Structure 1
Amino acid sequence: MNAHLPPRTLPATSAGLQLRMLRRQADLSQLDLALITGMSQRHISCIETGRARPSPATLHALLMALEAPLEQCNNLFLAAGYAPRYGSLPLTSPSLEAIRSAIGHVLQANNPAPAIVLGSQWQVMAANASTAALFALLGLPANATDELNLLVTLLQPGGLGDHLLNADEIRSVAWQRASREALENPELATLLAGLPMPSGPASLANDAPPLVMTHIDSPEGQLSFLSTFTTFGMPLDITVASLRIEHLIPADPHTWQVMTQAYENSIRPST
């Protein structure tokens, strides 16, 4: 007789374990996640322990609340027995026309300050006219941003890093950021393995500014920039999620003046 057998439960799967790990990495309790998603704490507990199988919609809601990388979301969907949910369209795809248009608008609006679009391996996918003007000012080739990798040109000798007055500081920050990203990006990890590691952490001055600045040695004197990033909100495509636009905002009047003149010269029709 089977009358006294315990109720049948789903076998524990890696999907629940992965979800629990993501929740703990986000420093959220089950109750916290329940409040954010509108689900019951008991249901989340059942999912994590394998006693309940989440629907694709439930998984999506949980993963978006945990802000999990889309590649990791796909792995979790597979572990739960579903097809991967998030694609990776090429930036040239007709479906991403609105994305390309938005990028072009942001790049143009940033002039006369430099701005570049970076992909998941730090490859430069687009740049505005002021970036080309800055490279020309430094004596770098006019097409220096074509097929350029920002991480490579910062860390390898002979690149942009050689023009930085605070090269040790910027290289250390770039290495640390890329190393964190490489934990979930095998292609970036491979690239990083072939690059020289910075000699050590840069010293911190007693009167350090509130942000790490980029100080460039140029024929027009020192140029100082603040760095900010723009990303797309609520991406559901891996390519779109990986894109970020780095803005180099001049940090003083001299840098604004030099960049404004360099940009105007670059767009002035030749006679």
Structure 2
Amino acid sequence: MERAVGELLRDWRQRRRISQLDLALDAGVSARHLSFLETGRSQPSREMLVLLAEQLDVPLRERNTLLLAAGYAPLYRERGLDDPDFAAIRSGVERVLKAHEPFPAVAVDRHWNLVAMNAGVAPMLAGVDASLLAPPVNVLRLSLHPEGLAPSIANLGEWREHLLARLARQIAESGDPVLASLRQELQAYPHDGAEAPEDAGLSLAVPLQLKTQNGVLSFIGTTMVFGAPRDVSLAELAIEAFLPADEATAAALRA
């Protein structure tokens, strides 16, 4: 059942924990008018929807949903990554991934499905069950599945806690039901129950510590997204790159 645009607006405002008065002030409209929009007593213009969506930091995909619910055409295009218009983007992503070698880096979509990876990732996948590497490869599933990377992660409890918390924030920000289902799946995976060490908060960032034939390699993750996107697919594309957390890891990878 399609939901009314006013109901969708109210949900996004409440998701962002912003009062009607604060949103009205930010958008330069009256709180009474905003209330009428949310209850359906007034119909928002296309420009008003775009303005409110911007103030609420609504993802581009969901901005299109708001526009459609109000009877307007979508504003933001969604092209596949194999679209000719994405040639320069694909080339740029590949250059970034290549430049990060020998350190591992991947490009993922909004549901953490693998789009591309560099040569630094392959050695990390030794021992992973082949079924988890069949497209589409979900990076979070690959990380926490008992037949994936989980047995090789020395600090699995800490890393699992970090990934689930990050996924929870994404769900809160986007309301994406696919991510919510993925989080439930990941939470159900068996694990050793070990929690983050008491002094974990003293470290600069949560590391990914992998057990390898060269000893334990430690990484710190970074995320890159594209600035000012106007295409849905581009807005949802991210590069997850891993930097060595210590000189021993850097030396092992360079060797």
Quote the offset at 1:213 in angstroms.
0.9
Q: In the TM superposition, what are the counterparts of 1:117-136 in structure 2 within 5 Å?
A: 117-132=107-122, 134-135=123-124
Instruction: Select 2:46's aligned residue among 48, 51, 56.
Output: 56
Which stretch shows the higher mean deviation, 251-260 or 53-62? 53-62
Question: Do structure 1's residue 44 and structure 2's residue 38 form an aligned pair?
Answer: no
- The 8 Å contact of residues 145 and 189 in structure 2, kept in 1 or not, is answered as no
How many Å separate the matches in 2 of 1:247 and 1:99?
Answer: 17
Aligned to 1:245: 239
Aligned to 2:12: 22
- The 8 Å contact of residues 172 and 200 in structure 1, kept in 2 or not, is answered as no
Which stretch shows the higher mean deviation, 209-218 or 178-187? 178-187
Question: Do structure 1's residue 151 and structure 2's residue 140 form an aligned pair?
Answer: yes
TM-aligned CA distance change 1:102 to 1:56, over 3 Å: farther
Aligned to 1:174: 163
- The 8 Å contact of residues 171 and 198 in structure 1, kept in 2 or not, is answered as no
Question: Do structure 1's residue 197 and structure 2's residue 186 form an aligned pair?
Answer: no
Quote the offset at 1:101 in angstroms.
2.8
TM-score (norm 2): 0.81
TM-score (norm 1): 0.77
How many Å separate the matches in 2 of 1:38 and 1:233?
Answer: 25
How many Å separate the matches in 1 of 2:208 and 2:239?
Answer: 16
How many Å separate the matches in 2 of 1:168 and 1:76?
Answer: 39
How many Å separate the matches in 2 of 1:198 and 1:71?
Answer: 34
- The 8 Å contact of residues 60 and 76 in structure 2, kept in 1 or not, is answered as yes
Instruction: Select 2:153's aligned residue among 157, 161, 164.
Output: 164
The amino acid of 1:259's aligned partner reads L
TM-aligned CA distance change 1:207 to 1:193, over 3 Å: closer
How many Å separate the matches in 1 of 2:227 and 2:70?
Answer: 26
Quote the offset at 1:217 in angstroms.
0.6
How many Å separate the matches in 2 of 1:191 and 1:26?
Answer: 22
Q: 1:37-58: per-residue Cα shift (whole Å, max 9, x none)?
A: 4445454344234343222122
Aligned to 1:206: 198
Secondary structure of the 1:44 match is helix
Question: Do structure 1's residue 98 and structure 2's residue 92 form an aligned pair?
Answer: no
Identity of aligned residues (%): 38
Find the structure with the greater CA-based Rg. 1
Q: Can you give the 5+ residue segments of structure 2 that lack an aligned partner in the other structure?
A: none
Which stretch shows the higher mean deviation, 189-198 or 27-36? 189-198
Q: In the TM superposition, what are the counterparts of 1:222-261 in structure 2 within 5 Å?
A: 222-261=216-255
Aligned to 1:113: 103
Quote the offset at 1:59 in angstroms.
0.9
Secondary structure of the 1:72 match is helix
Q: Can you give the 5+ residue segments of structure 1 that lack an aligned partner in the other structure?
A: 1-12, 262-271
TM-aligned CA distance change 1:256 to 1:205, over 3 Å: same
Q: 1:181-235: per-residue Cα shift (whole Å, max 9, x none)?
A: 5673344455556554354864232321232110011111111111111112233
- The 8 Å contact of residues 146 and 190 in structure 2, kept in 1 or not, is answered as no
